[in-house]
Amino acid sequence: MMKTLTLTLMLGITVLFEANAQIQKGNVMMGANISDIQFGLDKPNVFSLSINPKAAWFVQDGLAFGGDVSFGLATAKNSGTDITYGIGALGRYYGSTGADEVVRNSRFFGEATVGVSGVNPSEGGNTNGLGFSFGPGFTYFVTPSIGLEGLLKYNGVVGFGSSAYAHKLSLGVGFQIYLPGRSTARKVERDMQ
């Protein structure tokens, strides 16, 4: 019991004091972005929101692969509901320098996804098929294991339906949690022995 408590404490200290540890090989990133937020106060009282949870594993320092899911909803009083969805693979690359010179404890990154997506408006053409997105982002690390981020992405869907192509540009904000991988935990355990 004491060994497990000590290991947990050492792992926590390691995560808190390693500035670049969050994007090291073997670590895991989990979180979500929110975009297209709208609360219409005037008629027709529009409400819209898109949420994009994601998880990725760092295969090398600064490069992560994983998956993401997206769901969007837009509705207005006395009108139909527009729904967007997607599930796919995610790739993210963090630049090694540059952002830290703008704001301390920050990084620029690029993100791209590909998978199955759909855009289904209540009126007009729907498109379901191959979805893809890409764009730049900026992460500010509030702590070494929590990052707040902004992400500007181009989203496209090519496929079938009454419209063959749908696309939009979105600005999302969110957070990511960076968890140490097995290699970091083993290193802490070896250091304790």
Rounded Cα distance, 162 and 183, in Å:
50
Answer yes or no: are the C-beta atoms of 83 and 47 closer than 8 Å: no
Rounded Cα distance, 120 and 175, in Å:
27
What pLDDT does 14 receive?
40
**Can you count the helices (H) and strands (E) in the chain?**
3, 8
What pLDDT does 186 receive?
61
What pLDDT does 125 receive?
82
What residues are paired with 150 via a beta bridge? 138, 173
Query: What string of pLDDT tens digits covers the 193 residues of the chain?
Result: 445 444 444 444 443 334 467 899 999 999 999 998 888 777 778 899 999 999 999 999 999 999 999 999 999 888 889 999 999 999 999 987 666 667 888 899 999 999 999 999 988 788 999 999 999 999 999 998 999 999 999 999 999 888 889 999 999 999 999 999 876 656 555 655 5
Rounded-to-10 torsion of CA 145, 148, 154, 155: 70
What pLDDT does 12 receive?
43
Number of domains in the chain: 1
Rounded Cα distance, 47 and 112, in Å:
27
Domain containing residue 127: 2-192
Q: Cα separations (Å) of 117 from 22, 126, 137? A: 30, 11, 22
Rounded Cα distance, 86 and 117, in Å:
4
What residues are paired with 73 via a beta bridge? 49, 83
Rounded Cα distance, 106 and 19, in Å:
10
Q: Tokens 């408590």 identify what position?
A: 5
- The CB density around residue 133, as the number of other CB atoms within 10 Å, is 26
DSSP 8-state code for residue 79: S
What pLDDT does 110 receive?
96
User: Residue 121 maps to which CATH number?
Assistant: 2.40.160.20
Rounded-to-10 torsion of CA 173, 57, 168, 148: 10
Rounded Cα distance, 157 and 162, in Å:
13
